[in-house]
């Protein structure tokens, strides 16, 4: 069959070859710890026993982040079933995950202690398990090449202790940082299904040159999650922090106001302004006054209050007979000390004259 010449032109114009593909799982060599033994599995699935109790290897590279793997159902050791959700950057689900469980690993309920129980010990664990991804070269006569090696959740503490041990050895030898890619490491069973690691020897110059070539080839990049897709962050990671959708934890008690005093005052002032737009007059409680200020205020009020009739008579400078003054006080009591009358008040002399006229008229 002869292909028409014009198809080549349109094939280049359409450039759609990448659209018509089916996703396929990537097969790569790995080291399995299933069935309590160390086994090398190549890309075709062929297995080679590395050792029942231990095996030695050279670490070529490591993913600095913590990888996370989650299965909706129970995980079957040795199964090739891919996880439902996983992450190789430790912060967000991988863009290729078939069923991402949450927008970020920090908010995922499966990433919390107590979200699952250990089948072996019955203790609280996380449903989403943490792993450390390594690229290693097993030192075995029948196995060659870089393999993926996963440090299981139970062995993470032992791996951390081993890294600290290497630093101490390096400090004693005058090497600032002695890392696993400069030494031979032995993995063994420290406990049931829990690996331990120990230092064997330093690499000679030939092995160092060999590891350097493996690092330059970098064929293991996608195996341990160092490729661009594994380290890619979703769009939400580039948005401002306040735009992220956060999961709210259930309230366990009274909500604590964490705002600064200045922020509270500003918020209360804004709420008062908004309330005033709807309600014309809103009664507010007066501010608390100190005793000193309250006494000064009462003194000002007393000074402004009009004097009563008795106070006016007592403050008068005119000489008033004692009897007339007594009668004036009695008249003031009848009219009321606190009742303020706007008309003109009689002086003590006028009051005495009225009394005299009244007595002369009766006689």
Indicate whether 240 pLDDT > 60. Answer: no
Lookup: tokens for 214: 């493996």
Contact between 51 and 64 (Cβ < 8 Å): no
Residue tagged 């030494």 (tokens): 183
User: What does the pLDDT average to over 278-286?
Assistant: 45
Could you give the 3-state DSSP secondary structure of residue 216?
Answer: helix
Contact between 324 and 354 (Cβ < 8 Å): no
Indicate whether 94 pLDDT > 70. Answer: yes
Lowest-confidence region among 123-127, 227-231, 292-296: 292-296
Residue 113, pLDDT score: 87
Strand pairing category for 124-125 and 116-117: antiparallel
Q: At what angle do helices 348-362 and 322-335 cross, to 10 degrees?
A: 100
Residue 231, pLDDT score: 80
Instruction: Give 191-212 pLDDT, tens digit per residue.
Output: 888 999 999 999 999 999 999 9
Q: 174 vs 56, which has greater pLDDT?
A: 56
Band (242; pLDDT cuts 50, 70, 90): very low
- 307 burial type by CB count under 10 A (0-12 exposed, 13-18 middle, 19+ buried): exposed
Separation between Cα atoms, residue 113 and residue 89, nearest integer Å: 20
Indicate whether 289 pLDDT > 90. Answer: no
Band (246; pLDDT cuts 50, 70, 90): very low
Cα-flanking dihedrals φ and ψ of residue 9, to 5°? Answer: -65, -45
Indicate whether 282 pLDDT > 90. Answer: no
Indicate whether 229 pLDDT > 60. Answer: yes
pTM: 0.57
Separation between Cα atoms, residue 314 and residue 328, nearest integer Å: 10
Task: Supply the Cα-derived Rg of the chain in whole angstroms.
Answer: 46
Q: Please report which helix (H) or strand (E) contains residue 327, including its range.
A: helix 322-335
Separation between Cα atoms, residue 207 and residue 336, nearest integer Å: 117
Indicate whether 292 pLDDT > 60. Answer: no
Lookup: tokens for 301: 């009020």
- Give the C-alpha distances (Å, rounded to integers) separating 221 from 133, 279, 334: 11, 66, 109
Residue tagged 């040159």 (tokens): 209
Residue 143, pLDDT score: 93
Could you give the 3-state DSSP secondary structure of residue 241?
Answer: helix
Indicate whether 35 pLDDT > 90. Answer: no
Instruction: Give 324-352 pLDDT, tens digit per residue.
Output: 556 656 666 565 544 444 456 677 767 77
Strand pairing category for 194-202 and 183-191: antiparallel
Band (266; pLDDT cuts 50, 70, 90): low
Separation between Cα atoms, residue 258 and residue 255, nearest integer Å: 9
């Amino acid at each position: 069959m002869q292909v028409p010449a014009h198809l080549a032109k349109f094939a280049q114009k359409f450039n759609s070859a990448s659209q018509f593909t089916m996703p396929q799982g990537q097969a790569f060599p790995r080291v399995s710890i299933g069935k309590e033994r160390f086994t090398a599995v190549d890309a075709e699935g062929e297995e080679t026993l590395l050792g029942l109790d231990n095996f030695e290897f050279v670490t070529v590279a490591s993913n600095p982040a913590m990888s996370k793997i989650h299965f909706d159902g129970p995980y079957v050791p040795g199964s090739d079933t891919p996880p439902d959700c996983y992450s190789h950057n430790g912060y967000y689900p991988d863009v290729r995950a078939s069923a991402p469980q949450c927008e970020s690993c920090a908010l995922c309920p499966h990433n919390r202690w107590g979200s699952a129980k250990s089948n072996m010990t019955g203790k609280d664990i996380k449903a989403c398990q943490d792993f450390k991804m390594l690229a290693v070269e097993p030192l075995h006569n029948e196995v060659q090449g870089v393999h993926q090696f996963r440090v299981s959740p139970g062995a993470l503490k032992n791996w951390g202790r081993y890294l600290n041990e290497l630093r101490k050895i390096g400090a004693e030898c005058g090497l600032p940082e002695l890392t696993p890619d400069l030494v031979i490491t032995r993995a063994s069973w420290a406990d049931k299904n829990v690996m331990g690691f120990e230092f064997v020897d330093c690499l000679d110059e030939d092995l160092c040159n060999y590891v350097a070539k493996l690092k330059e080839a970098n064929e293991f990049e996608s195996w341990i999650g160092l490729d661009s897709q594994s380290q890619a962050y979703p769009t939400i990671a580039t948005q401002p922090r306040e735009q992220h959708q956060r999961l709210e934890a259930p309230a366990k008690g009274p909500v604590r106001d964490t705002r600064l005093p200045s922020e509270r005052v500003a918020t209360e002032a804004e709420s008062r302004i908004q309330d005033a737009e709807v309600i014309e007059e809103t009664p507010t409680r007066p501010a608390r006054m100190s005793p000193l200020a309250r006494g000064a205020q009462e003194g000002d009020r007393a000074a402004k209050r009009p004097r009563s009739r008795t106070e006016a008579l007592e403050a008068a400078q005119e000489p008033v007979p004692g009897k007339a003054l007594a009668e004036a006080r009695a008249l003031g009591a009848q009219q009321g000390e606190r009742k303020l009358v706007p008309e003109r008040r009689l002086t003590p002399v006028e009051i005495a004259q009225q009394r005299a006229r009244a007595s002369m008229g009766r006689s």
